[in-house]
Amino acid sequence: MDLFLAQLLNGCALGALYGLFGIGFGLVFATMGILNAAQGAYASWAAIIAMYAIELAGLPFPLAALAGIAAGGAVAVLVDQLGFEPLRRFGPGNHQAAMLGALITSIAFWIMLDSAAGLMTGQQSLAFPPGSYPATVFQIGPLLLPAMQAVSLLALAVVGGGMHWLNTRTRFGAAMRAVGWDPVAAALGGVNSRVIVVATAGLAGGISGLAGILAGISTANISAGLGQGLMLKGFAAVVVGGYDDIRGTAIAGLLLGVLEVFCAQYLSSSWRDAFAYALLLGFLMLRPRGLFGGGGFTRA
Amino acid sequence: MSDLLEDLWAAYASTLGFAMVNAFFALATYATLSAGILSFAAVTYGAAGGFLGAQLLLNTTLPLPLIFLASALAGLVMAMIVAALFLRLESHWMALSSLALVLITRVVVLNTPGLTGGVNGLSLPAPLSMIWLVALLALAVFGFWLLDRSWYGIAAKSVREDPSVAACLGIDPRRIQLIAMAVSGLAGGLGGVLMAMMLQFVSPDTFFIHVAFTMIAGVVLGGSHHWFGPVLGAAVFTALPTVMQAVVPDLQDIANGAALLLIMIFLPRGLLDPRAIRLRRAAK
């Protein structure tokens, strides 16, 4: 039973990272309709910058993490303005062409950012210096909770709750959803869609960056490949949760993490990804709009 | 002079070969895209064709044309399964599902070592002769040209532009898209076995995300409104790394990405754009 609970906790902590990354990934997809292949690179960049902020600049961990998050956001805004903005002049009615074009430019940025990240780390797998991040282990009854797992769970709760609040309760969130529905109609309604798009890109980059930093600590592996693993599972979380639903993504992320850890523990560690992706496929077949999704309709 | 040509050929023959193999994958993606479906599933059709072809090559003495046929049919069967599952999804979800399918393909390949060699993959003995590759690609391109001129080609264009309008005109979008998936499966399956023979090796990583991105980049780069676009795009996208390595060896990947980005921003409809050609002709 103790093992079960301990693994449940490990799964939740892992899943929190998937959920966090998924929130960033889903935000871009829901607001801009872009399948962003470069999203994983934001996570790698944030982790690398945060690590160098500690190693070279000697910043304390919270400040270094902030620097990493800011770097993730800045890279995301840069990618958006250089890679996606020129394609938006296609305008409405050519949605598929614009979406395809953005997918290709995001692949271009993925290649560039990953290879630049490889140059920054010297093609090696690095790690945060030990002692630079909180390493206390809390004891809750029979369970041991390392501080960084607690931080991951807390981060998911804060970011998930905050983004859900932002999305459903504020004017900014309403503007974001309006731009996601139709940028021209949103502009006619008085929304400055360029500002919204830049802000969304920055937010998404920052959230993905946070996921990258936390993943870099919990796996003790900071490299150009860090983002890709997060991206595959984060993508799964987005689809299972429903791409425009932040609560769904967070819960689906946790679910995937728990599933992965339990499969590795009780079934077979080589099939653990298969279960995650089977769940993904099952959701696409049975509930394509995600955990909490409602019915959809299309206009002619 | 002839020495120089021979050197060039030796250096770039494999690039040319891979350009042609990638052209099959790009054509497979173009097949569905020209009926309005963005799908990455051609990677899965390629895996079906590639591993079946590899097993046939290793364990039987079937003549090559039969192996090609069997692999293309394996792709077709896979495409029909995918069509049955995915075709009712909306376009965004279709794209996401097919991407998920690529991830699942790799896990399945990894965990069925009896069929696929698992982590170690399968090694194939004889290399593929360039003549076969050219002949098959010519055949495929001819097939796409015929399709483009046929009743199906016209119907597919209307479904791509607007499925609801196409339905009002008496075209069944579902049926057109099913045909598109079948064509995609055939091209993908064939591309899979050719990729396996070209590499003389197949492993779970042979058919993964990078193939999906290569082929979609090839199609969009070359032009997704003309049957020759994917072939051209695949050639450019395959040759780009080789060229960049010769020009800027240290920053090869960054230069690749930048080139792709610039082409996309300045030629968003691809290198080969029938609309631009028609406009230019009309202006004369």
- When scoring A106, A284, A285, A287 by the number of chain B Cβ atoms within 10 A, the one with the most, hence best to mutate, is A284
Residue B74, pLDDT above cutoff 90: yes
- Give contacts of B216 with chain A, Cβ < 8 Å: 100, 103-104, 107
Does A269 map to a domain? yes
Does A143 map to a domain? yes
Q: What is the dihedral of CA A102, A104, A107, A113, to 10 degrees?
A: -70
Q: Which of residues 145-174 of A touch B (CB under 8 A)?
A: none
Q: What is the least distance, in Å, from the CA of A300 to any CA of chain B?
A: 6
For the question of an ipTM over 0.85, the answer is no
Does A236 map to a domain? yes
Give the range among A94-108, A261-275, B175-189 with minimum mean pLDDT.
Answer: A94-108
Residue A296, pLDDT above cutoff 60: no
Going by pLDDT thresholds of 50, 70 and 90, the confidence category of residue A45 is very high
Facing A112 at nearest CB: one of B164, B254, B268: B254
What value does the mean pLDDT take over residues B52-79? 92
What value does the mean pLDDT take over residues A207-228? 89
| Amino acid at position A85, single letter | E
Does A129 map to a domain? yes
Does A292 map to a domain? no
Interface check for A109 against chain B (CB to CB < 8 A): the answer is: yes
pLDDT tens column, A109-161: 988 898 899 888 888 888 888 878 888 888 887 888 888 899 999 999 999 99
Percentage of chain B lying above the pLDDT 90 cut: 37
Here the tokens at position B98 are: 């097919």
Facing A35 at nearest CB: one of B95, B108, B217: B95
Q: Is the Cβ pair B253, A300 closer than 8 Å?
A: no
The count of domains in chain A is 1
Q: Which of residues 21-50 of B touch A (CB under 8 A)?
A: 36, 38
Here the tokens at position B13 are: 């023959």
Does A138 map to a domain? yes
pLDDT for the residue numbered A23 = 93
- Distance between CA A282 and CA A255 in Å, rounded? 14
Interface check for B276 against chain A (CB to CB < 8 A): the answer is: no
Going by pLDDT thresholds of 50, 70 and 90, the confidence category of residue A300 is very low
Other C-beta atoms closer than 10 Å to the C-beta of A102 total 26
Q: What is the dihedral of CA B216, B222, B225, B230, to 10 degrees?
A: -60
Interface check for A107 against chain B (CB to CB < 8 A): the answer is: yes
Going by pLDDT thresholds of 50, 70 and 90, the confidence category of residue A288 is low
Interface check for A300 against chain B (CB to CB < 8 A): the answer is: yes
- Domain span at residue A41? 10-286
Here the tokens at position A11 are: 């799964």
pLDDT for the residue numbered A141 = 79
In order of A10, A250, B37, B161, B216, the CA distances from B167 in angstroms are: 51, 39, 16, 12, 27
Does A294 map to a domain? no
- What's the mean pLDDT when you consider all of chain B? 87
Does A2 map to a domain? no
Percentage of chain A lying above the pLDDT 70 cut: 93
- Give contacts of A270 with chain B, Cβ < 8 Å: 110-111
> Mind giving me the DSSP string for chain B?
-HHHHHHHHHHHHHHHHHHHHHHHHHHHHHHHHTTT----THHHHHHHHHHHHHHHHHH----HHHHHHHHHHHHHHHHHHHHHHHTTS-HHHHHHHHHHHHHHHHHHHHT-HHHH-GGG-EE-SSPPPHHHHHHHHHHHHHHHHHHHHSHHHHHHHHHHH-HHHHHHTT--HHHHHHHHHHHHHHHHHHHHHHHHHHHTEE-TTTSSHHHHHHHHHHHHHH-TTSTTHHHHHHHHHHHHHHHHHHH-STTHHHHHHHHHHHHHHH-TT-SS-HHHHHHHHHH-
pLDDT for the residue numbered A104 = 81
pLDDT for the residue numbered A299 = 46
| Amino acid at position A255, single letter | L
User: For the CA atoms of chain B, what is the radius of gyration?
Assistant: 19
Interface check for B215 against chain A (CB to CB < 8 A): the answer is: no
Facing B103 at nearest CB: one of A109, A112, A232: A232
Going by pLDDT thresholds of 50, 70 and 90, the confidence category of residue B120 is confident
- Give contacts of A285 with chain B, Cβ < 8 Å: 85
pLDDT tens column, B191-222: 999 999 998 888 888 888 778 878 888 888 88
pLDDT for the residue numbered A151 = 92
pLDDT for the residue numbered A92 = 52
- Give contacts of B100 with chain A, Cβ < 8 Å: 235-236, 239, 277, 280-281, 284
pLDDT tens column, B25-53: 999 999 998 998 888 899 999 999 999 99
| H or E segment to which residue B173 belongs | helix B173-199
- When scoring A96, A240, A289 by the number of chain B Cβ atoms within 10 A, the one with the most, hence best to mutate, is A96
**CATH number, position A71:** 1.10.3470
